[in-house]
Amino acid sequence: MTEYTRILNDFHNLLHGGYRHHQGEEIGEYKAQQDNADPMSALKDELSNNTNRVVSHERSSPSSDDLDTLPRISNEIAGCHQCNLYLTRDQTVPGVGVQRATLMVVTDSPVDSARAESSPLAQYEQEYLDKWLSALELDIHNDVFITPAVKCRTPGARPPHQAELVSCSFYLRRQFKSVRPQAILALGATATAALTGNSADFPSLVGQDWTWGSIPALVLWSPAEVLAHPGRLRAPVWKALQRLKKAWDAIPGNRL
């Protein structure tokens, strides 16, 4: 049995019986309306304006607010020239999931293998993330929307520049408003920067209880990093996911 398979099996056991083993040390028209505002502040302000209420898990009927759908946003992303990443891309990676998701997952930049209609994560990372989502009693096909902080792969898989994050914050803001998630999970420093505007916030937020706007939020290491350091990171990830679920379950009318 490979080390990767063993880790997946161990995590599966955690979901059904709690953490038993500790092995020691291991972000046109609409845009024109936003041009005079700081993108990162606008993103956080808009989230707060749209989440100062209890959101029922039961989905409401479509309204005029639903016209900015994920497919429409994806089509605009495909033709985006707002930063220099369009010069080197072969295709965009807008994200994958459902329109009215319970959880919105923000990842780092798309991996080289990511495609326009696929997860921005590598397959082995997505498989591991699926285990985390199972811990939150979520169905990957019905309850989740996953999107990268920037929608184009970066040259050499480098971290995106601040200008690139700012440009893509326009699309992340619209995706959030369209999805109306009930909780947010950010994976890695770039995803954290997409939400806070500063990648330096990652060390102080990772694994900690947090709210973004007025909904439960959680910053975690990327699945790849947890797989690379299971003895050190697997237990904190498990405990943080359970706290996120407990925080959401405590809000009347919501239940993950």
256 domain residue, yes or no: no
104 is in which domain, residue-wise? Answer: 3-18+27-52+68-249
β-pairing, 183-187 with 96-97? unpaired
In which element (H, E) is residue 229 found? none
Q: Could you tell me if residue 254 is inside a domain?
A: no
The token pair at 37 is 């505002």
Quote the tokens at residue 40. 């990162």
Q: Enter the DSSP assignment of 207.
A: T
| Predicted confidence band of residue 1 (pLDDT cuts 50, 70, 90) | very low
With respect to residue 155, please indicate whether it lies within any of the assigned structural domains: yes
**Per-residue model confidence (pLDDT) at position 246:** 85
Q: What is the pLDDT of residue 215?
A: 85
Instruction: Pick the more confident residue, 5 or 222.
Output: 222
pLDDT of residue 111: 87
What pLDDT, on a 0 to 100 scale, did the predictor assign at position 124? 93
- Domain with residue 222: its CATH number is 3.40.470.10
- The SS3 of residue 77 is helix
pLDDT digits (tens, 9 = 90+) for 172-192: 989 999 998 989 999 999 999
Higher confidence at residue 125 or residue 113? Answer: 125
- Residue 150, in any domain of the structure: yes
Note the pTM of the prediction, 2 decimals: 0.75
Domain count within the chain: 1
DSSP labels for 91-128?
S----EE-TT-SEEEEESSPPTT--TTS-SS-HHHHHH
Q: Is residue 60 part of a domain?
A: no
Residue 63 within a domain: no
Asked if the structure places residue 62 within a domain, the reply is: no
